[in-house]
Structure 1
C-alpha cells in the first residue's frame, strides 16, 4: 500500500501514459493560463474604468471574465504541478475543494452565457426599449441568478458525488476532480447518480443552450425582416463574439456531461475537458477583443493612459 493511499490522497492519472505529451502540455497550459489571467484581467479593468463600456453587455462580460479566471485557477495550478513532476497526487480536501469550485463556476458560466444571449436579444430586437429592459436592477438580478445556480448545483451534485463509497479506489483517470470521473471510482451501483447527473445537465446545460438558441432565433428573424446588409453586419458584430464563445464552450462540455459513459467521452474525455477548462478561457478575451471595436478602443485608451500618451 502506497503512502498516498494511506493518507487518502487521490492519484491523478492525467497524461502520465504519454510522457512526451506531458512536457509539451506543461508549456502549452502554462502559456494559456498566463494569457487567461492577463486577457480576462484587462477586460475586467477596462469594463470597470472606461465610461463608454458601462453597458449591460460589458457588465456581464466582466462576470464572465471573473468566472474564467477563477475556473482555470481552480484547476490549472494542480495540473501544472502534476505535469512538471513525478508526483500525481491531490489530497482528499484538495480534491473536494477543486470539485466544488470548478463545478460551481462551470455551472455559473452556462447560465451566464444564456443571460448574455438574452441581453443581445434585447439589444437587437428591442433597441428602443433596451435601456428600460436591461436596467441595472435586472442586470444585477440576472448575474445573481447565474452565480446562485452554480452554487446550488455544486452543493447538490458535489456533495452527492463525494459521499459515494469508493472502497479504497483512488486512481482517478483524469487530470482534475470532475463529477463524471469521480463517479467512476464508486464501488456501488451508480445508475442513480448518472441519471441525477443527466438531469442536472439538462437543467444547467441544455436549458440555457435552448434559451440561447431561442434568443438567436428571434435575432435572426428580426434581421431578416429588416432586409438590410448593414443591419446584418451590425447584428453579426453585436452577437458574433458571443456566438463563437458559446460554440466553443458548449461544443465541448456537453460531450462530457450529457453522455459521461459514452465510448467517445471515455476515450477523449481528458482532452475535451482540457479544451473547456484551459483553452476556452484563454480564447474568450481574445475573441471579444478581436471581434469588438469598442473593446479594442478601450484597450488602446487604457494603454495610452498608462504610458502617459
Structure 2
C-alpha cells in the first residue's frame, strides 16, 4: 500500500543525480545512512526508553491476543483466526524497524549496510503487505457475517480461511520479490542518506537515478494489486455492511451488528488514516524529518494500538481474558 502513496506523492529528495563518474562511484555503495531523530545527547536515553517501551508493549500485547485466541475455544472462529494472524504480522512488522532503531540510538551509529538495508526492506515489505491483506480479508469476513449470516458457517469454512491467509502470505512474498527486483536494478544513486529511520522501499526508490521502463511497469502492477484492489474491497465490504445494518428495524439489532465489526473498522481507519496522513502530509511539508516522525504513526503506533482496540472494544476478548485470568489463579 505504501507503494501506492509513493507513486502519487513527490520525492522528499530534491538533489540531482550525480555525474557519470560520481554515479559509477555511488553504484558500489556498501552502506546507507539512516535519519537520526535528534542529535541532542540528552534526548538519546529518553528516545531509547520510549521506543523500547513501545516495542515491548506491542510484542506483549499481540502475543497476549494470540494466546487468548488459541487457548479459548469460544474464540475458535474465522474472525479471531484472522485476528491472531494479524497480531503475528504486527509483531513481525514492528520487529523489522524498532529493534534496529533502538540499537542505533544506543550505539550512536546510524549506518546500515547495503545487505542489511535490503534485508530490512524485504521483511518490512512482507509484513506491511501481510497486515494490509489481512485487514482486507477481515473486511470480507465481516461482510459475510453481517450480510449473509445464515450462510456464514458454510462460506467461511476452515479450508477457505486457511486459503485466504495463504494467499495473503503469497501476495506479500510477491510484493517483496518485486521490490527487491526494482532495488537491485538501480545502477546509480543520488545519495546514500535515507530520509527515514529505516530502509523504506519508497525512500530507496527515491534515491534512484534511473527509472527504466520495466520499473514503471512494475510500479503500475503494484499500484493495482496492492493499492486499488484492497482499498476497493474494504470500501465495498463496508458499503454493503452499512447498508445491511441500516435495514435492521431495531436500534438494539443495529448496535449488535455494528459492534461485531467496530474493532476492525477502528483498526482499518487507524492504519489507512495514518498512512494517508504520512504520505500526503510529507508531500505538503517537504520536510524529511517531519515525514520520518510521521511514519512512526503507522510503523510503530498502529501495531501497538491494535491489541488495545481489540481487547477494550471487544466483549468476547474481554470475556476470554477474564477466563484466562481465573484459570491462571486456580492453577496457582
TM-score (norm 2): 0.84
- When structure 1 is superposed on structure 2, of 163-172 and 280-289 the one drifting more is 163-172
Which residue pairs with 1:60 in the alignment? 82
Within the candidate set 69, 79, 94, 1:47 is matched to 69
Tell me what 1:252 maps to: 274
Equivalence for 2:316: 294
Tell me how far apart the structure 2 counterparts of residues 44 and 115 of structure 1 sit (CA, whole Å): 18
Superposition deviation, residue 17 in structure 1: 5.0
Distance in 1, matches of 2:299 and 2:259, equals 26
The 8 Å contact of residues 71 and 277 in structure 1, kept in 2 or not, is answered as yes
* 2:55 match: 33
After TM superposition, give the deviation of residue 83 of structure 1 in Å.
2.3
Q: Determine the C-alpha separation between the residues in 2 that align with 1:118 and 1:103.
A: 23
Match of 1:74 in 2: 96
Q: 2:283 aligns with which of 253, 262, 277?
A: 262
> What is residue 98 of structure 1 aligned with on the other side?
120
Bigger shift: residues 268-277 or 162-171 = 162-171
- Which residue pairs with 2:23 in the alignment? none
Q: Distance between the aligned counterparts of 1:173 and 1:50, measured in 2?
A: 44
How far apart are residue 213 of structure 1 and its match?
1.1
> Contact (CA 8 Å) 1:173, 1:181: kept in 2 or not?
yes
Moved more, 263-272 or 228-237: 263-272
In 2, are the aligned partners of 1:10 and 1:172 still within 8 Å (CA)? yes
The answer to whether the 8 Å contact 1:166/1:186 transfers is yes
Displacement after TM superposition at 1:277 (Å):
1.0
Q: State how far apart, in whole Å, the 2-side matches of 1:83 and 1:132 are.
A: 51
Residues 213, 97 of structure 1: alpha-carbon distance in 2 compared, 3 angstrom cutoff: same
Distance 1:50 1:263 in 2: 47
- Correspondences of 1:186-201 after superposition (within 5 Å): 186-189=208-211, 193=215, 196-197=218-219, 199-201=221-223
Cα distance in 2 for partners of 1:243, 1:252 equals 14
Please show how residues 181-220 of structure 1 align to structure 2 within 5 Å: 181-189=203-211, 193=215, 196-197=218-219, 199-220=221-242
Determine which of 132, 157, 165 is the counterpart of 2:154: 132
1:169 aligns with 2:183: no
**Which structure is richer in relative contact order (CA contacts within 8 A, separation 6 or more)?**
2
Match of 1:180 in 2: 202
In structure 2, list runs of 5 or more residues that go unmatched: 1-26
Give unpaired runs (5+ residues) of structure 1.
none
Identify if the C-alpha distance between structure 1 residues 18 and 93 changes in structure 2 by more than 3 Å, giving closer, same or farther: same
Query: 1:224 and 2:253 equivalent?
Result: no
What is the TM-score with the length of structure 1 in the denominator? 0.90
